[in-house]
Amino acid sequence: MKLKIFTFAFFIFLLSALSISASDLFDIPVDISLNGDYIKMNDAPFLYDGTTYAPIREVSDMFGAESVIWDEENEMAIIEFEEKTIEMPINKKHAYINGEKVTLPASIMLVNSRTYVPVRFISEHLDADVSWDAPFYTVQIEKNGCTIPEEKILHRKYDNDHVYWLAKIISCESQGESLDGMIAVGNVVLNRVESPLFPNTIYGVIFDDVGGVQFEPVINGTIFDEPTQKSYLAAKMALEGKNTAGGSLFFLNPDKAGNFWIMENRKFYTAIGNHHFYL
């Protein structure tokens, strides 16, 4: 068997291999944590058909694997870890653990000239415990004795509490709207956080009552309902920088509004679904 350490020949193979387009894969912001620390990856993980993928090299390094090599002849990636050899052929739904064939939940794939592998499969076979925190789109990995170097720890500018409360107001205010419309509602809240005219926290903006309660769900109590999963996604995307409302500080549904102060006093920015957004 002819083995090569990710050489130029492998690079040429990657370029010529059938790869999945990355255009739609990275819209959903997925995090991976190890023993409570978020991991900073050079190439982002993604969610595809219910499976979370991450670059094979970064997942292997995370657990301290001895090597990741490429078998050019058989077109498979091979991970050496302690007394385990994991062989994973490209575009096949099976792998080999110390020569024994096992079924994969999904095949490894090539994206942007990178080899991506199912995170759960690799993690569990490298002796880690894995869970999926669905609302926050996070793979949680636990493994004793495994630490992440400081330079590989991702220090996010927000936490899950921010996602939770932003998802709540999005869920209440934009039921039935498109994902772009839901993100726009989140943008308005985040724009207010940054504005000197409003409180400087998401929770504070939601429950702001200076000049009157700002959001109807606070009055009718629906703000305390559990957010939809789509609202969690919109909240996380907004917090990650996705913006569909520009610098808007206000929004309303003109067909349902009982007060038109916003329309009469603020500059119109855009309309998304049933909502109009104003600067």
Rounded Cα–Cα distance for residues 191 and 186 (Å): 9
Which amino acid, one-letter code, is at 265?
N
H and E: helices and strands count for the chain:
9, 17
pLDDT tens profile 56-109: 888 888 887 778 888 888 888 888 888 888 888 888 888 888 989 988 888 888
Q: For residue 61, what are its two tokens?
A: 């390094």
pLDDT tens profile 235-268: 999 999 999 999 999 999 988 877 778 888 999 9
Q: Rounded to the nearest 5 degrees, what angle is found at the Cα of 226, between the Cα atoms of 223 and 232? A: 100
Q: What is the pLDDT of residue 24?
A: 65
pLDDT exceeds cutoff 80 at 171: yes
What proportion of the chain, given as a percentage, has pLDDT over 70?
Answer: 91
Q: Say if CB 113 and CB 22 are below 8 A apart.
A: no
Residue 14 exposure: Cα atoms within 13 Å on the Cβ side: 18
pLDDT tens profile 5-46: 433 333 333 333 334 444 566 788 999 999 999 999 888 898
- Please give the domain boundaries of the chain with CATH numbers for all domains: 3-152 (3.30.457.10), 160-278 (1.10.10.2520)
